[in-house]
Amino acid sequence: MPEACIQAIQPVQQDFDFADYVAPVCLFQEPTIIQNRTVELGEPSVFQLFSYEDSFSTECIWDDVITIESGGLLNAMRMITKNVLAICVEAQQTIDWHTQYLIMPLPEAVPVRAGDRIAVRFGYEAGAPLNALADSLEVRNLASQPTNSTNRQSAA
């Protein structure tokens, strides 16, 4: 039995092209293998952390902002779950087990640049069908308004 669980969400650009057929569907990925069809656009952001020893909510709700680190086309979010199997206090480390990553496609792709801030919101009950997450997932680019480029003449 794991001691704790850490769940995170990560913005990605996912290649959903399968033999010239584009199918933006939920995908599972092995976490220990490099995913050549996935481009990480930002670091994972933890949305839930709990100990199985304590009582915890079965509702997974998050409403926060993620900063984009690499430009691209944000068309999916990667859901990451890491179970902490044991905590080695003396070595100050944990023994972890990652479950398969879930790639959740977005209804519409969002062009992003490094530094953009992305508002992400979702809510679902643990154990609910995948469409509960898909139906609640909202992603919005909060990128700053374009700056006005005015020609300034220097006083000579």
pLDDT score recorded for residue 144? 52
- CB-based contacts of 72, cutoff 8 Å, min separation 6: 13, 39, 41, 111, 112
pLDDT for the residue numbered 156: 40
pLDDT, position 96:
92
Number of domains in the chain: 1
For residue 60, which phi and psi values (nearest 5 degrees)?
A: -105, 105
Q: Is residue 106 part of a domain?
A: yes
Instruction: Please give the C-alpha separations between residue 40 and each of 70, 83, 114, in angstroms, as whole numbers.
Output: 8, 22, 12
Q: Which domain holds residue 132?
A: 4-141
List pLDDT tens digits, range 6-39. Answer: 999 999 999 999 999 999 999 999 999 999 999 9
Domain membership flag for residue 152: no
Per-residue pLDDT band for 56 (boundaries 50, 70, 90) equals: confident
Q: Is residue 148 part of a domain?
A: no
Residue 49 lies in a domain: yes
The DSSP-derived string for 116-149 is: -EEEEEEEEETT--HHHHHHH-EEEE-PPPPPP-
Residue 154 within a domain: no
Q: Report if residue 79 sits inside a domain.
A: yes
Task: Report pLDDT digits (tens) over 135-149.
Answer: 999 999 997 544 444
Q: Is 125 within the bounds of a domain?
A: yes
CA 9-14-59 angle, 5° bins: 25
| pLDDT score for 143 | 78
**pLDDT per residue as tens digits for the range 73-130:** 999 999 999 999 998 899 999 999 999 999 999 999 999 999 999 999 999 998 999 9
> What CATH code is carried by the domain that includes residue 38?
2.70.160.11
pTM score of the predicted model: 0.86
Flag whether 126 is in a domain. yes
